[in-house]
Structure 1
Amino acid sequence: MLMALTPGRWCDSRLTEALASGERFPVFCYGSNGIEQMRDRCRNGGLTSCRARLPDASRVFGGWSERWAGAVASVQPLAGHEVRGSVVDLDSAEIELLDSFEATNPDAPYGRTGAVYHRQDVVVLVQREAGGPEVAAVALVYVKVDASWRGPPSQRYVDACVRNVLQFWDGSEVETICTR
C-alpha cells in the first residue's frame, strides 16, 4: 500500500505491527525520551538520534505521572504549529520494550483501551545529517490516551524535555500548551 507522505499527516496505518525481524523503524521523540533515556529503555547503548519535526501538531502536557510528579507530554494535531524533537530508529524488540515504559495496551498497542499512551503513525520531517535536507518519513509516535489537565509538569520533567529538544534545535523552547 502506497501512502502519501504529507508532512504532519496522522496515518491510519499500523506499520510497526508488521515489522520484519531486524528491520528498523523511526520513532519520533518529543518529550523526555532523549537519546540517553532511549538507550536505557531499549537496552541498546548504540542507538543514535537525529533532528526531526512533526508539522501541524502541538506538544501538550496533561494527565499525571507519579514518576515525574506532574503532567507529561503528548502531541495533538494543530494546524500551523509544529513539534520539534528527534527520531531514533528501533527494531520490533526495542519498540516492545518502549511500549512497556509508555504503558501501551500489550494486546493492542495502537488501541486506546487499557493504555496510558498508544502508538500512532505520523509523517515527520527528518534531517539525518547536519545541514542536510529534510525528508518526509512515516514514524511511530506515542500519544497520551487521556491528556486531561490535572496540573502542570514538574520542572524536572520539563528540563528532560528541553534536553531532548535542544540536542538538535538551537534556542528552542518547550512550548507548554495545557489541555483542559
Structure 2
Amino acid sequence: MKRILLLFLLLYGCKQEEEKINIPRGSEFTKGFTVYESISGDRKWFLKADSAITEKDRIRIYGVHLKFLDREDIRSVLTSDSGFVIEKTGDLIAYGNVEVLTKDSVKLFTDSLSWDNRNEKILVEGVFHYTGKDEEFEGEGLESDPELKHILIKKRVEGKGRIEE
C-alpha cells in the first residue's frame, strides 16, 4: 500500500500541465519576446514579454514588462498580464493588472490602458487608481506622460492630496 501511494505521489508530482495558448492559423509564437523603439538613436522604450504571438498587423504579448526611457535612464515601468503592440505605429494596449511605476515611486493602477507612441501619452479610458508622494486618488479617464507628472483627468476624480488645475 505504501509503495502504491509513493508511486502515485511521484507520478502526480512529476506531472506538469502545459499552458495552452490558442495560436491562430498563419501566426507565429515566440517565447521570450523583446523589442526596442528608438528615434535618431535615442531609445524611447524597451519591451520584454514572456511570450508573443505575431499576427497580421499586431503582436499579442503575455507577461508584459515595458520600460519607458529617456536616453538610457528609466522614466517608468509598465507591467500587465497581456496586451497588443501595433507594429505599424508602435502603439501598445495593455490588459489585466496594469501598473505603471515611475522612478519617483508614483504608481498608477488600472485594468487597461493604451500607449500612444507618436504623442508619447498614456491613455486610460476606464477607472484608475493613482498613488503619489503626497496624494492618492481614483478617477475615470486619464491622459499622461510616462513619468506621470503631467496628468489630465477626463471624467471624474476623488481622493486626497494636492491637485493643480
TM-score (norm 2): 0.26
Higher share of residues assigned helix: 1
Which one has a bigger Cα radius of gyration? 2
TM-score (norm 1): 0.24
Q: Which has the higher contact order (CA 8 A, sep 6+)?
A: 1
